């Protein structure tokens, strides 16, 4: 079962990664790859000459496949970029209406003039906050205290990054009493983009106005009677907040400091962090209006069952190239079924309401 | 925090799904959607007339976006189908060499003639077994007992299915002493293809030859002394086997029978089952030769770090359409970093070797 030949010490590599030293990392990888290359020769050498010859031809065929596949990845990325460009003017119109930069009239859009008649409410108040709160994954992250600050959110954008690969989320805020920054960013660096493997996540450090930090609460303790210092002792504690999203989980410098349970906990935190980021990228940004009105909720829960709009027309290419002895036992009736409703993201779905349970919120005291 | 307006009872829907009654399901969905449609009007009605007008225009813009997006999904599916077709001749060549239907000579492929000179070994023995055992996710599933049967695996194919959407894996087996079936299939029905939500998984029922079942072990107990029945008592117990993949986890008919812990356990089992299926589809089938030789192991672990072949060239479309007050505090230096290496699939990666730990194997006794 165990394949010792192909086992190598991931801990070595992890510690190289932790030192954030590109040269170390590259050296570690090089030596591993050299040893793997050796193993690869071993595997071929253990084969009889005839089988080895066949495997060499198979490797050429694999090479042809991989060249085609590289073209596929390229074309798919170009297709995605093409559509991202087509979406941009629509996102800009949305931004202008949401923030009151343009006014609508009889279904058409007109620009607001500073000296024209203005109504009391500018744009669509709390647009992004409402959209995010209607999404199950994000609603769990937003505390009541966060809502005050998230009302100042003017826009969210995302873009791909290259070298290293990944993507960046940008949160644009209006001037607000909570923090100085006008843009908060969150960047995900991926190792593998196709089946995404997260390398690290980076967030903007938030410059909170004094006493306005939403990610910490201040505990005041009465000093002990007879204590020399008569002032109350203040202690800050981290608390739940959407803005913790900009301070993502970190791996300790030395991975010997972390036991198995702590590693699993960290793993879960990083998964949740990635889940939030990809929800904002894939759901909130493209469909913010539908999340604001609540229309996206049913679409998210029941997918394509009622909605034929994004039916994908794929040519079924199901012809068998080999002749197989089809057995009569392969009827559909013979198949065992298991029925359930399940999200890949790992969020419990069985008998769960729309909103998951949360621990009690923390409030500034 | 909680958004009671948009909460609806998923348990009702789950029980409708469990009854496998399409009519019930559609009715349940219809009534939910009607109530949601009501809520949607509520949200719009709670807005001031001016804001409501703006939201109506935003909905038109969202509609334009969604039309574009539907075209994107269509084009992307067509692109994938185009490349799947291009891969087919290469997969056929691979099949023929692996199973000895054609012989290679000096790097070229020639057909074997039944009366020609044949070497002792036909094709590449244990090709698929070796490829699968070199993959971390699959190695954990394959017991020593399974290896005997998996040596008869001749090919694995996958294809998309429509109505319901999803995909099908087909495992083609040579005549073997373990089971009668020549093809074992596993089908995944998805609710949402873009962010995949699994609805159910279906596997072929395996027709084991007597005493050859790999998914059960037989326990023999000596009868009690003085017992009337002198024959030993035999008891069958389920055991670990790759072939359990064809008998996927099932949700109990009545979801009140399942408590929170059991639901989470089931959730994990279904995730693992999907992980195995998507590993076979996305990794083993397209890159079987590289998995056989072991070359794919490094590619899987370190992704694109050393391999420029599938670099995706995306035009960066990063120009800001709005004018934002860029703050000086937004420097890269201010960003907090968290470094780690993490798989989206949720498999622990920290300080873990290439092969995960497995519970002791079960053997037929």
Q: Where are the domains of chain A?
A: 124-301
Q: Is pLDDT larger for residue B348 or for residue B246?
A: B246
Bridge-partner residues for A167, per DSSP?
A160, A188
ipTM of the complex: 0.70
pLDDT tens-place string over residues A84-138: 999 999 999 999 999 999 888 754 555 555 544 445 689 999 999 999 999 999 9
Find the mean pLDDT for residues B244-261. 79
Angstrom distance (rounded) from CA A340 to CA A349 = 9
Query: By the 8 A CB rule, do B212 and B223 touch?
Result: no
Condensed to tens digits (0 to 9), the pLDDT of residues A265-312 reads 888 888 899 999 999 999 999 999 999 999 998 655 433 333 333 333
- Give, to the nearest 10 degrees, the angle between helix B295-302 and helix A22-45: 160
| DSSP output for A219-260 | EEEPPPTT-S--SPEEEEEE---GGGGGS-----SSGGG--H
Distance CA A58, CA A35 (A): 23
Say yes or no for a CB contact (<8 Å) between B172 and A58. no
Q: List chain B residues with CB under 8 Å of A342.
A: 197-199, 267, 270-271, 274
**Is A10's CB within 8 Å of B354's CB?**
yes
CATH class given for the domain over B124-300:
alpha beta
Looking at beta carbons, which residues of chain B come within 8 Å of A291? none
> Can you tell me the mean pLDDT for B67-81?
95
Give the angle B358-B360-B365 at the CA atoms, nearest 5°: 145
Nearest to A342 among B270, B306, B322 (CB): B270
Interchain CB distance below 8 Å, B48 and A338: no
Write down the pLDDT at residue B157.
98
Which chain A residue shows the shortest CA-CA distance from B161? Answer: A316
Q: Across the interface, which of B121, B172, B348 has its CB nearest the CB of A51?
A: B121
C-alpha torsion sign, points A175, A177, A181, A185: negative
Task: Calculate what percentage of chain B has a pLDDT beyond 70.
Answer: 60
Superfamily for domain range A124-301: Nucleosome assembly protein (3.30.1120.90)
**What are the tens digits of pLDDT across the range A22-36?**
444 444 454 454 445
B254: nearest CA in chain A? A351
Q: How confident is the model at residue B103 (pLDDT cuts 50, 70, 90)?
A: confident
How many interchain CB pairs under 8 A, A with B? 563
Would you tell me how many other CB atoms lie within 10 Å of the CB of residue B236? 11
Q: Is the pLDDT of residue B116 over 60?
A: no
Q: Do A190 and A197 meet the contact criterion of CB atoms below 8 Å apart?
A: yes
Which carries the bigger pLDDT value, residue B111 or residue B271? B271
Tell me: pLDDT of B340 over 50. Answer: no
From B220's Cα to the closest Cα of chain A, the distance in A is 27
C-alpha distances out from residue A164 to A50, A202, A348, B317, Å: 43, 13, 33, 17
Q: What residues in A contact B191, CB-CB < 8 Å?
A: 302-305, 341
Cβ atoms of B248 and B202 closer than 8 Å: yes
């Amino acid at each position: 079962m165990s394949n010792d030949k192909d086992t190598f010490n991931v801990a070595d590599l992890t510690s190289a990664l932790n030192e954030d030293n590109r040269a170390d990392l590259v050296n570690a990888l090089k030596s591993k790859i050299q040893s793997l290359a050796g193993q690869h020769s071993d595997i071929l050498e253990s084969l009889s000459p005839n089988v080895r010859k066949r495997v060499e031809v198979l490797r050429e065929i694999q090479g042809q496949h991989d060249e085609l596949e590289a073209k596929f990845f390229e074309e798919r990325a170009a297709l995605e970029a093409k559509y991202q460009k087509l979406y941009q003017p629509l996102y800009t119109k949305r931004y202008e209406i949401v923030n009151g930069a343009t006014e609508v009239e009889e279904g058409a859009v007109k620009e607001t003039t500073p000296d024209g008649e203005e109504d009391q409410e500018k744009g669509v108040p709390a647009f992004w906050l409402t959209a995010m709160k209607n999404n199950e994954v994000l609603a769990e992250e937003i505390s009541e205290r966060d809502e005050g600050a998230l009302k100042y959110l003017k826009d969210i954008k995302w873009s791909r990054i290259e070298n290293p690969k990944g993507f960046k989320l940008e949160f644009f805020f209006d001037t607000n009493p909570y923090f100085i920054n006008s843009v908060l960013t969150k960047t995900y660096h991926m190792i593998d983009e196709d089946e995404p493997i997260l390398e690290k996540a980076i967030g903007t450090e938030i410059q909170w106005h004094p006493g306005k930090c939403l990610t910490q609460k201040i505990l005041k303790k009465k000093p002990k009677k007879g204590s020399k210092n008569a002032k109350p002792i203040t202690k800050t504690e981290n608390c739940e907040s959407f803005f913790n999203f900009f301070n993502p989980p970190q791996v300790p410098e030395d991975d010997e400091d972390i036991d198995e349970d702590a590693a699993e906990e960290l793993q879960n935190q990083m998964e949740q962090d990635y889940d939030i980021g990809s929800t904002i990228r894939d759901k909130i940004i493209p469909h913010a209006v539908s999340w604001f009105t609540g229309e996206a909720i049913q679409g998210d829960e029941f997918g394509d069952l009622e909605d034929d709009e994004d039916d994908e027309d794929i040519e079924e290419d199901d012809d068998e190239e080999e002749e197989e002895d089809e057995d009569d036992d392969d009827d559909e009736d013979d198949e065992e079924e298991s029925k359930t409703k399940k999200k890949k993201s790992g969020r419990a779905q069985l008998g769960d309401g729309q909103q998951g349970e949360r621990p009690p919120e923390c409030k500034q005291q």
